[in-house]
Each structure stands twice: as C-alpha cells, then as structure tokens.
Amino acid sequence: MAEPMDVAAAAAAPAPAPADVDEGLYSRQLYVMGHEAQRRMASSDVLIVGLNGLGVEVAKNVILAGVKSLTLYDPTPASYGDLSAQFYLTEADLGQPRAAASKAKLAELNEYVQVSLTPEGQALDGAYLSGFRVVVAIDQLLAEQLRLNDLCRECGACFLAGDVRGVAAAIFCDFGASFTCYDVDGEPAASAMISAVTQENPAAVTCLEDHRHGLETGDFVTITGVEGMEELNGQEFQITVTGPYTFELPTVDATGYANYIRGGYVNQVKKPVELSFRTMREALVSPGEFLLADFAKMDRPPVLHQAFRGLHAYMREHGGALPPPGDAAAAEEVWQEAQRINAAAKTDGDGSEAALHVENFEDAKDVVLRVALVAAGVTSPMCAAMGGVLGQEVLKAASGKFCPIRQWFYIDALETLSDEPLPAEEVAPRGSRYDGQIAVYGATLQTKICAQRVFLVGAGAIGCEMLKNWAMMGVGCGDAGGVHVTDMDRIERSNLSRQFLFRSTDIGQPKSTTAAASAKRMNTDMRVSPYEAKVAPSTEDVFDTDFYDGLDAVCTALDNIDARLYMDSRCLFFGLPMYESGTMGTKGNTQIVVPHLTEHYGATRDPPEKSVPVCTLKNFPHQIEHTIQWARDWFEGAFKQTPDSVNAYLSDAEFLKKLERQPNIRLETLTAVMRSLVGDRPRSFDDCVAWARLQFDKLFRNAILQLLHNFPLDHVTTSGAPFWSTLTPVLNPTLTLTRTRTLIRTRT
C-alpha cells in the first residue's frame, strides 16, 4: 500500500520530467494552464466517490484535462432517475453499478489517463486514500463526507465534496492546513510605465494615466529604468495601492533621494501564496465567508447552507433517502430540521468563529421548502454547470494554479420552478429516463421539452456540451420535436481535449455529423439533423424562411463576432429566442435574448480598441502594444500589400486605370511596384540577405540616429520641459555589428 502523501510537498516539488506534455492534444489548454501546471496535473492521482450525473461530469472534465489517473468508486445500482443527467448510462445499464457501467466510456476520453475502478471489497480507509492527491465525494451522506474529510486530512490529500439537489447545489473544498497556490489568478504579470516618483516617506509612484497599473495592495513589484532615483532600480517592493494609477512603497523613505527625472517601469512579481483551510467539521458549523455567484441573491448562501444541513438531517433520520418529490410533509420536516439547526447556533465572545445563525430565518422558509420539494430530482444543466466548477477545483488542487474556493459555494435556480408547488402526481416517477427531471419540473413541462425544435450553430466545445445536455433533458426527442446542428469545420487533434463527443478515430470527420451521432447514442430518441453549412447570406437557400419558421429557439456556439451578429439579425427578424455563449480561457459568458423582453446581442458592442497615432508608432513607441502594432503594420506593408500590388500589376490589364481612381495612394503604390520589380528585385539569395541587412539599418539604426539629430538629448519643448520624458523615452541606437560567416543548409 502506498505511503501517505504530503500534498503540499508534492505540489512544491519540481514537475516530474517523464510527464511530457502532448502539445498537439493540449495546445489550447496550455495557453491557460502552462506547461508546469500541466505536468503537475499529469502526475496527480484522483479518486471520485459517486458516479451520478454530477460525478460523471467531474470525471469527464478531469480526464479531458489530463491527470495521471482517475479511480472510480460507486457500487450504487443505476436507476431511471440517473438517466436524466448521467450521460454514460443507458437503459441497458439499469441495475448495474454506476462506476462499472461508466468506466469504459470514460476511458475513451483520453489515452494518457488511466481510468480504473476501486477493487471490489476495498474499504475507503486512510491507507487507500493516501495513494491519491485529490479525493472527490459526490452525493454522499454527511457522515461519510465527514469521515472521508478526516481521513484526507490525516494522509495529506485534498478533499472536495459536491451535491446537486434538484435546482440547488453545494460545493466544499478543503486543501489542508497549508496549501501552496503558485498563481492565484492565471493572468500575466502586470506592468506599467512610471511618470513620477515623489521624494516622500513613503515614496509615491504615479503611472501613465492612459494605462491602469492593474496592481493590488500586497503585491510585489520590481522597478527598473528610473533616471534620477537610481536607488529604486532593481529592487523589489511590496506596495500599497492608492488609486488606479498610483501606489506607495511603504518601506521606502525617498526624502533623501535625488530628484526623479524620467522613465522607469514597474513590473509585478507573482509569488506563491500559502492558504489554510478548515476541516469540514469546523466549516460546517462556522462556514465563514461564502463565495457569491449570484448578486441578485446576496443573502441566499447562508440560507442554502442551513437548508442543505436540514436535508442531511432528514436523510440521516430516513435511512439516507431524500424527501419524495412534491411531498409537502417531508419538505416541512426538512424545514423543521433546518430551523432547529439555525436556532441552536451560539456565538462566542467576539463572534469570530461563531456558529452560523441566519437572522429572521423564518422569512426564508419558502426557499427551504422549495429546495426540499425538488431535492430528489436531478437536471442535466445543473450537473453540467457544477461539474465544471468542481472539476476546475480538482485541477487547482492538482496543479497549484488559480485560487481555490474557500470553502463553501452554493447556487440555486429556484426561479425556474413553477410559482406554486406541483402536485405529487405531476412529479411522481414514471419509469422514464426523464424521471429525474420530471421530479423537478413535472410531466407536463417534460412533454413540451421533448417537442422543442431548436437550431444549434456550432459543434465545438460549447456545442458538444449543449447536445449532451439536450439529449439528457429530452430536447427534440418527441415526435414533434427536433434538433438541427450545423458546423462547417472538421475535427482536429487539438479539439479532443475539450470537445468530448469526438474521439481520435474521428479526426478529419465533420464536427456536426459526428457530434450528432454521439448525442443520439446517449439518447436514441433524439431527432437530430446535422448540416455542414456556415450561417451567412450565402446559405439562406439552406436555412430559409421555412426553416426558421419551424424553430422554437436558436443556440449559438460560435467563435466569431460576424456569425453571431448574423444569427442575431435572423433571430430578430423571425422573433426567435437566442441563447448566446462563449469562453476565453477560464472565463465564460452567456446572454439570453428573449424577443420583446431583453436587448438583442447586437444592441451593445465592445468599445473600439484605442488606435495609436502614427507619429507615436513611428517615432515614440513607449508601450509593448506600440511596438507590436508597428511591427504588424510594417510586415503588412512589406509582405502583403506590396506583393499584392505587384501581382495585380502583372496580372490585371486594368490595374493602372483602377489606380487612377485612387489618387491618394497612386504614387505610393506605383513607387512600391517599381522598387519591387526594379530597384530591390532580388536575383539571388545573397540579394535577399543584403536587402534584409539594409532594412535592419534603416529601421533600427538610421531612423533613430536621425531622430536624435533632430531632437538632441538636451532638447526642451516651448514650455521649457525636457523633450525626452516618459511619454517620449530616449531611443538608444547603440549597436555593434560583426562580420560573420554563416553556413546555410537548404533541405529539399
């Protein structure tokens, strides 16, 4: 049996060399996580206890991300209630252990991840748990969660717990008494240019007003390139932020320093942060501050905490069973338990570690009752959303990247329920794969869901998730329903780490047809029609008036603005709801557009990017963005615009006539054409080298020397201020060129 694992030490150790990263598979993910974090994940063993709808979502996400191994434990027999969210179970698996029935399909997701089952008869004791870096408990009784958390504390494993009860969910994280987070936000280190430093105690630093410094109090920074206060250069300081463009150096008394003259850069130094977590036993009674997800429900998390404690108390008294759907008496019992727990909370002297007590808890009775009435149900969207959050917490524990949840997270969608509780017969199980969802929304609404006719535009990462969710929900699975999906792309290897409906054998195949076939295997009743056409005016013979008139809604899962705006115009014209979403790294956004109720997608636009004046780009670049834009502009002119003009001159007999109608660019274009075909035309590889060498001199030496000749270092403006300041930094053309002999080999 493995020795107990010290998770903090394991996270601090250098990433193991053998865990080479497959950049072809994880290329997109590496932009977010980085190689070191990816290697740490690839050396992590994870155990998931509980393979219901939430559990399989976590398992799927963790496998796709690329941990070393995933072990599954769940002997619970699969039931009809599972089929509303557990997408790797079918009716043929009913009665089989959920973990065993799911293993083979989960193992197909990533060839680099070893997926296995806990050996039959193996107890989840401390010796066994010590072989894992992360342990995740899903849908477990409170007593079992507490037991597993205690064991994880003893053996040094990170512990997470998650529950989805109808349309309410809870997540708990305990990464131990000391956990090292190497990068709390994953953002690039902030940097800014300095415009002033005061001779005060403490010294105050001001940055350029056209660029916020992006720092926070407590951050560490280094300062370089300051003229005058040379003592600051190369030093590291912890700062106190005083404004979006200013901060102080508390440890610096600059009263005796020389005057600040000009220049300087401040660069953030990202340092590891040590975090301490409380055990579940402690945090259950005194949860501390909750992570808030819905700012329209600021007071909801404490209420949900007590509601879930009431549910656990009910389950303890009823042999682990949840309140039957729609059972008002059982819901009342949950309320009584929650009320008892809340009333029993006592505060100590200063209240710093007080047991949670919700004031005026009676006002929240309706919330607790509504949670209890649907707690036995399950919905795929809630499992998918919470599976994403909980899966991300697993990756944080394994990689040490991004700040974990500390420690409770609650969310609900009670607003989606009917205004009045549904009668028991409306939510009673029917021996249907939708029993879990019927327990929440009722059989009548389920019939309407099956009859929905929707259009999914895009079958990438979001599109795959939507198809899976709809298959579980029954969208388009009735005789009158249907799902249309279009995507003109083909499957690539880099897609496989996040577009989970595809396998390596599907590379090169159309995304739409492959995704549609995968979704239909999850629910054979799904009526799905794939297309390989883009959405644009040119395809309105395919997606015509009859097509849109036959829809109930449109869901966009696109990767470009133009297509989104086009679909927005189509939905406006035909009066259709549009569900818009997108992702960028670990960030995501959604927008629900309802005709005659909300603004449409194109009603608001991102502000245009700030343009950089040509004189700044050419003579006084002082930000990295300036140099990038300058380089792009030069490259565009030298290697695209000029070659395009030359090719047009050689191939288009009307070129000169067309150019006469553009007097503003006529001379410049003709000069570039003549230079390319006559003066600068290369006739050998040596000519190309000579051209490049002359361009280098022109751009990086001669132009700078000319500028310094026109404006010497001691030049002043008409107001008497130094010309060379922070906004016009001194350009240094110092360059030593040596003649070298280079051997160039050409491979054919």
Residues 6+ apart with CB under 8 A from 694: none
pTM, two decimal places? 0.81
CB atoms < 10 A from the CB of 646, how many?
18
Query: Which H or E run includes 453?
Result: strand 453-457
Q: What are the φ/ψ torsions at residue 465 (nearest 5 degrees)? A: -65, -40
Residue ranges of E strands in 632-701: none
Q: Helix/strand/coil (H, E, C) string of 515-553?
A: HHHHHHHHCCCCCEEEECCCCCHHHCCCCCHHHHHCCCE
Q: Are 244 and 212 in contact (CB under 8 A)?
A: yes
DSSP letters spanning 76-93: PBP-GGGGGT-TT--GGG
DSSP assigned state of 231: G
Is the CB of residue 424 less than 8 Å from the CB of residue 327?
yes
Between CA 490 and CA 510 the distance in angstroms is 4
Main-chain dihedrals φ then ψ at residue 403, nearest 5 degrees:
-75, 130
Contacts of 267 (CB under 8 A, 6+ apart): 189, 190, 191, 221, 222, 223, 224
Residue 182 to residue 594: CA distance in whole angstroms: 42
Query: Do residues 528 and 481 lie in contact, with contact meaning Cβ atoms separated by under 8 Å?
Result: no
Start-to-end CA span in the chain (Å): 56
SS3 of residue 679 by DSSP: helix
pLDDT of residue 636: 82
C-alpha 389/C-alpha 598 separation (Å) is: 28
Q: Give the H or E element holding residue 622.
A: none
- Joined tokens for residue 112: 């680099």
Strand partners, 246: 206
Helix (H) or strand (E) holding 456: strand 453-457
Cα separation, 589 vs 556, whole angstroms? 12
Residue 300 · residue 409 · CB < 8 Å: no
Residues facing residue 236 across a β-bridge: 222
Contacts 24+ apart (CB under 8 A), 503-509: 503/108, 504/111
Mean pLDDT by 10 residues, the chain (748 residues): 42 44 84 89 96 98 96 96 96 96 96 95 96 97 98 97 97 97 89 91 88 90 92 94 94 92 91 95 94 92 97 97 96 97 71 78 96 97 97 96 95 96 94 96 97 97 97 96 96 92 94 97 96 94 96 94 94 96 87 94 74 61 74 83 86 84 82 85 87 85 80 74 60 53 43
Cβ(218)–Cβ(262) below 8 Å: no
Are 481 and 553 in contact by the 8 Å Cβ rule? The answer is no
Q: How many CB atoms lie within 10 A of CB 322?
A: 21
Provide the residue type at 278 as one letter: R
pLDDT at 24: 81
- Does the CA dihedral 336-337-340-346 come out positive or negative? negative
**Rounded distance between C-alpha atoms, residue 274 and residue 739, angstroms:** 53
Cα gap 729→224, rounded to integer Å? 14
The secondary structure of 142-209 as a DSSP string is: HHHHHHHHHHHHHHT-EEEEEEEEBTEEEEEEE--SSEEESBSS-PPPPEEEEEEE-SSSSEEEEE-T
Q: Which domains does the chain have, with CATH numbers?
A: 7-181+278-295+378-410 (3.40.50.720), 191-269 (2.40.30.180), 451-575 (3.40.50.720), 607-681 (no CATH), 683-748 (no CATH)
Distance in angstroms (rounded) separating the CA atoms of residues 84 and 431: 12
- Is position 688 annotated as part of the catalytic site? no
Residue tagged 């748990």 (tokens): 129
DSSP state of 459: -
Is the bond preceding 114 in cis, omega lying within 30 degrees of 0? no
Is residue 247 within 8 Å of residue 240, measured between CB atoms?
yes
Residues with Cβ within 8 Å of 60's Cβ and at least 6 positions away in sequence, in order, are 106, 109, 387, 391, 500
Closest CA to 477 of 487, 462, 467: 467
Tokens of 349: 């002297």
pLDDT the model gives residue 473? 97
Candidates 152, 181, 207, 615; catalytic one? 615
Q: Which long-range contacts (CB under 8 A, 24 or more apart) does 9-15 make?
A: 10/43, 10/133, 11/40, 11/179, 11/180, 11/182, 11/399, 11/400, 12/180, 15/39, 15/40, 15/43
The CA–CA distances, whole Å, from 355 to 311, 615, 726 equal 18, 63, 55
Query: From CA 46, how far away is CA 152, in angstroms rounded?
Result: 12
Q: Is residue 682 reached through a cis peptide bond, with omega within 30 degrees of 0 on the bond before it?
A: no
Alpha-carbon span 318 to 340, nearest angstrom = 17
Beta strands in 571-638 (DSSP E): 578-584, 587-593
Residues 6 or more apart in contact with residue 712 via CB below 8 angstroms: none
